[in-house]
């Protein structure tokens, strides 16, 4: 489940001073969102947006403060949430026509908040690959634009994230900021294998130092 905010694509244009200032303002806004949506609920038990309860962050504060947790769910209801959450701000560079995927490992009922922006319009899809052979890909949101943000709670354990494709004629940069109960991240880039005469997938892992 995701509650996205998107901006549709416009005519590609080279970055201007105004655009760079806007990007800086967006970055500051992202920091405020992460603070209010993730850090305040987990560290201080303050949850003005309700994201702390939705993502399980209030449980971290309650555990540290000695507050009695609610009764555990019946066996089989959900995978227990990890006791730590992570935050990440990362950038990716794509050449014209280049595409790749970036996904987080999230267990069932784990959640995150996220925002990404690009210096040029991207064709994108936010989707998940649930665990299990033969399980269908779960598509949450797709479109074309240079910005999206929202919150997400995984309905199934697996890897969840984005496919991005640079549809412009110049290099572009994507900046992603997220916070939530993911344990790892992984870039997936198609690479041509001359020996087998076909593309293979190159995996680039992202490792995190837990906030708690």
SS3 10: coil
Q: What is the mean pLDDT of residues 49-76?
A: 57
Q: What is the mean pLDDT of residues 27-48?
A: 61
10-27 exposure pattern, b = at least 16 Cβ within 10 A, e = fewer: eeeeeeeeeeeeebeebe
Domains, the chain, with CATH or none: 87-206 (2.60.120.680)
198 versus 15: the higher-pLDDT residue is 198
pLDDT tens sequence across 163-177: 999 999 999 999 999
Q: Give the residue carrying structure tokens 């990890």.
A: 82
Q: Say whether pLDDT at 140 is over 90.
A: yes
Q: Say whether pLDDT at 120 is over 60.
A: yes
β-bridge partners, 2: 152
The Cα–Cα gap between 73 and 77 comes to 6
Contact of 113 with 39, CB cutoff 8 Å: no
Predicted structure pTM score: 0.67
18 versus 163: the higher-pLDDT residue is 163
Q: Say whether pLDDT at 85 is over 90.
A: no
Residue 39: what pLDDT? 63
Q: HSE, CB side, 13 Å, CA atoms: give it for residue 200.
A: 7
The Cα–Cα gap between 154 and 20 comes to 34
Residue 10: what pLDDT? 53
Q: How far is the CA of 185 from the CAs of 28, 106, 162, 201, in angstroms?
A: 23, 9, 11, 15
């Amino acid at each position: 489940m995701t509650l996205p905010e998107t901006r549709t694509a416009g005519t590609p244009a080279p970055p201007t001073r105004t655009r760079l200032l806007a990007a800086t303002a967006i970055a500051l806004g992202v920091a405020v969102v992460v603070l209010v949506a993730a850090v305040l609920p987990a560290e201080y038990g303050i949850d003005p947006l309700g994201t702390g309860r939705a993502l399980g962050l209030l449980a971290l504060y309650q555990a540290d403060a000695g507050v009695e947790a609610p009764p555990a769910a019946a066996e089989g209801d959900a995978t227990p949430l990890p006791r730590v959450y992570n935050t990440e701000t990362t950038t990716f560079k794509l050449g014209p026509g280049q595409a790749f995927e970036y996904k987080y490992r999230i267990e069932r009922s784990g959640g995150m908040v996220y925002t990404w922006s690009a210096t040029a319009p991207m064709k994108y899809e936010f989707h998940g690959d649930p665990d299990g052979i033969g399980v269908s890909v779960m598509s949450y949101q797709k479109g074309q634009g240079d910005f999206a943000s929202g919150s997400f709670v995984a309905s199934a354990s697996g890897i969840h994230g984005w496919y991005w494709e640079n549809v412009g004629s110049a290099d572009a940069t994507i900046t992603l900021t997220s916070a939530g109960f993911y344990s790892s991240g992984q870039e997936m880039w198609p690479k041509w294998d001359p020996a087998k005469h076909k593309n293979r997938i190159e995996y680039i892992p992202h490792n995190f130092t837990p906030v708690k």
